[in-house]
Amino acid sequence: MSDDAVRDELLRLENVDAWYGTAQALFGVSLSVPRGGVVALLGRNGAGKSTTLRSIMRIEVRTRGEISYAGRDLTRAGTTGVARLGIGYVPEDRRIFGRMTVRENLLLGRHLARGDREPLPLTEILDTFPMLVPLLDRLGGVLSGGEQQLLAVARALVGRPELMLLDEPSEGLAPLTLRQVRTAIQSAHDAFGATVLLAEQNATFALSLAQRVAVIDTGRIVFTGATEELRARPELMSRYLGVESAGAAAGTGS
């Protein structure tokens, strides 16, 4: 398994430093996402999860170190170029276009598709996200937080990304909505074959989806390994993620 993963590595960060202006936010972050995998990036508030994703997307931060996708150097590209390689990004505040309808928001996702990656027809997306159907002609700005989150995931999927970067999709969601979002991510992976890098604070939620985990704290990676390995280390869970018992983290599923 782990040998395959190294050989078929889709995204790779090697010793990445990142700065906002003069303030350094990442220190030597290394991360590897195997093709077809679901990797969780866990850490508490301000740990550097969003910064890691922004470094990949070339948004706001300046970086040093290697960031490559399918063997291509991303540090020389712009945000548009990175996205067009087939990376779907769901930022932490969802960034739905408030004055456009849900339909238009979804259609905007098509720009991601290039060359042989045809965009998904809306019907196909709506099969996976049936709750969006009645909302199609509403303005994005009036949707609830949960609906916006689903829309953001759906929008990123329209361009048939090979890699999805999800920034705290669980944030502020009620358990029922959380389950919908979880199903959506699951089907992005299972049905549409996307590789997923999931930044999360909610360990329970993330570990239920991920095969591999990296834990980040104050801009440094403090743990990488398989999900079970992290579960087996309650002291890490409580120290970096505030999860008090390993049982709690293992307790959810389906």
Ligand X SMILES: Nc1ncnc2c1ncn2[C@@H]1O[C@H](COP(=O)(O)OP(=O)(O)OP(=O)(O)O)[C@@H](O)[C@H]1O
Residue 238's binding partner among another protein, Mg ion, ligand X, none (Cβ under 5 to 8 angstroms by kind) is none
SS (H, E, C) 190-237: HCCCCEEEEEECCHHHHHCCCCEEEEEECCEEEEEEEHHHHHCCHHHH
**Interface map 181-220 toward ligand X (x if CB under 6 A):** --------------------x-------------------
Residue pair 181/150 in contact by the 8 Å Cβ criterion = yes
Distances in Å between the alpha carbon of 7 and those of 3, 41, 106?
Answer: 6, 21, 34
Q: What is the dihedral of CA 64, 65, 67, 68, to 10 degrees?
A: 130
Which of 18-26, 189-197, 205-213, 244-252 is the region at the interface with another protein (rule: CB under 8 A)?
18-26
- Is 111 a binding residue for another protein by CB under 8 A? The answer is yes
The nearest distance, CB 84 to another protein, in angstroms, is 5
Which of 12, 50, 90, 151 is close enough to bind Mg ion by CB under 5 A? 50
- Is 92 a binding residue for Mg ion by CB under 5 A? The answer is yes
Which of 109, 169, 212, 230 is close enough to bind another protein by CB under 8 A? 109
Residues that bind Mg ion (CB under 5 A): 50, 92
Residues forming contacts to another protein in the complex (CB under 8 A) are 19, 21-22, 24, 57, 59-60, 62, 64, 78-80, 83-84, 89, 91, 95, 97-100, 104, 107-109, 111-114, 155-156, 159
